[in-house]
Amino acid sequence: MPIEVKNLTYIYNPGTPFETRALDDITLTVNDGEFVGIIGHTGSGKSTFIQHLNALIKPTSGSVLVDGEDINESKDKSKLRQRVGLVFQYPEYQLFEETVIKDVCFGPLNMGMSDEEARENAVRALKAVGMSDADWEKSPFALSGGKKRRCAIAGVLAMHPEVLILDEPTAGLDPVGRREILKIVSDIHAFGTTVIMVTHSMDDAARLCSRIIVLEQGRVALDGSCAEVFSHAEELTRMGLTIPQAAFLKQRLNARGFTLPEDIYTIESLSRALIGQLKKR
Ligand SMILES: Nc1ncnc2c1ncn2[C@@H]1O[C@H](COP(=O)(O)OP(=O)(O)OP(=O)(O)O)[C@@H](O)[C@H]1O
Ligand SMILES: [Mg+2]
């Protein structure tokens, strides 16, 4: 189920002194099975962009096609939002029921499942995100930041989306919490779901994503594999972004006489290449 974005432009508050062109003529396609990272400076349009992919925002001009159909022309938005699930940047915006289990049941019930079926799907989703049953009857608002995120992810997973979109799913979490959430996301992708993830972490993007899209002032500045995107170190730096730590270290080592290959951007690939060269010396 490809998502095709055609000449997408979005302007907040048009015709007012607060007019902001948040997206400017974006054209791209996300194909089945991809793990796409969306990167960009704060205010570059990442959240605005992904909210267009399940019709939460209507384009000012241009279109978004899912399976060849313009999503803003279809009447049944809830079916679309079940197929293209979005986990918000702030989980508080997503959670609203009295208990975790009720919250996660909401989507399946809305899809027309019976109480029993909805609960089965919710329980499966809660288990997939590692939420123990001790938390199921708690208020989602009483949970830690990491658990709130898991609950929000479970709420979307319970509807079995074909595409899962996450807006900075690790923001505000400690390193252990980050690792746990990223493991959940990478497992979901491994089971065949297309994933689109907004992130500020180049290292996470390098480790997980098969493709990276860099936004700058509402436009696509770079779009390609990790190797392609991270080869533009100067351009990324100019945009106020970094390159992965491993790529930075590789550059420093090469400046000191190593000849490590260009396409290194994870610690694992750097250590392999480095050991190889040290053995030859
Ligand atoms: N509700 C809104 N009303 C008016 N302008 C907005 C609104 N939301 C976002 N903007 C503006 O649109 C532009 C893109 O914002 P957006 O939130 O999509 O960026 P972002 O890349 O997600 O940023 P961040 O990394 O801070 O989350 C920014 O200039 C922002 O100020
Ligand atoms: Mg954002």
Residue 262 has a pLDDT of 84
| Degrees, nearest 5: CA angle 143-195-142 | 5
Task: Report domain extents, the chain.
Answer: 1-75+196-242, 244-281
Residue 280 has a pLDDT of 85
Tell me: the pLDDT tens digits for 128-143? Answer: 999 999 999 999 999 9
152 burial (CB, 10 Å; 0-12 / 13-18 / 19+) is: buried
52 pocket-lining for ligand 1 (C-beta < 6 Å):
no
What's phi and psi for 86, nearest 5 deg? -125, 125
Q: Atom 25 (ligand 1): residue with closest C-alpha?
A: 42
Percent residues over pLDDT 90 in the chain: 89
C-alpha span between 259 and 254 (Å, rounded): 5
Residue 169 has a pLDDT of 95
43 pocket-lining for ligand 1 (C-beta < 6 Å):
yes
The CATH H-level (homologous superfamily) assignment of domain 1-75+196-242 is P-loop containing nucleotide triphosphate hydrolases (3.40.50.300)
Q: Atom 4 (ligand 1): residue with closest C-alpha?
A: 12
Strand partners, 194: 163
Structure tokens at 263: 């396409």
Distance from the alpha carbon of residue 48 to the mean position of ligand 1, in angstroms: 6
Residue 75 has pLDDT above 90, yes or no: no
Closest ligand by atom to 41 CA: 1
**Secondary structure in 3-state letters for 25-57:** EEEEEECCCCEEEEEECCCCCHHHHHHHCCCCC
139 pocket-lining for ligand 1 (C-beta < 6 Å):
no
20 pocket-lining for ligand 1 (C-beta < 6 Å):
yes
22 pocket-lining for ligand 1 (C-beta < 6 Å):
yes
Distance from the alpha carbon of residue 138 to the mean position of ligand 1, in angstroms: 33
CA 215 to chain CA centroid, nearest Å = 14
**Closest atom of ligand 1 relative to the 42 alpha carbon:** 25
Q: Which of 201, 224, 265, 170 is nearest to 36 (CA)?
A: 224
User: 14 vs 10, 21, 59, 187, CA distance in Å?
Assistant: 9, 9, 12, 41
pLDDT band, very low/low/confident/very high, at 281 (cuts 50, 70, 90): confident
Distance from the alpha carbon of residue 177 to the mean position of ligand 2, in angstroms: 20
Residue 76 has pLDDT above 90, yes or no: no
Q: Atom 29 (ligand 1): residue with closest C-alpha?
A: 43
pLDDT band, very low/low/confident/very high, at 214 (cuts 50, 70, 90): very high
Distance from the alpha carbon of residue 218 to the mean position of ligand 2, in angstroms: 12
Closest ligand by atom to 44 CA: 1
Cβ-contact 45, 58 below 8 angstroms: no
**Closest atom of ligand 1 relative to the 168 alpha carbon:** 27
Tell me: the pLDDT tens digits for 261-274? Answer: 988 999 999 999 99
Distance from the alpha carbon of residue 75 to the mean position of ligand 2, in angstroms: 27
Residue 179 has pLDDT above 90, yes or no: yes
Can you tell me whether residue 110 is helix, strand or coil?
helix
pLDDT band, very low/low/confident/very high, at 253 (cuts 50, 70, 90): very high
Tell me: the pLDDT tens digits for 12-62? Answer: 999 999 999 999 999 999 999 999 999 999 999 999 999 999 999 999 999
Distance from the alpha carbon of residue 9 to the mean position of ligand 1, in angstroms: 14
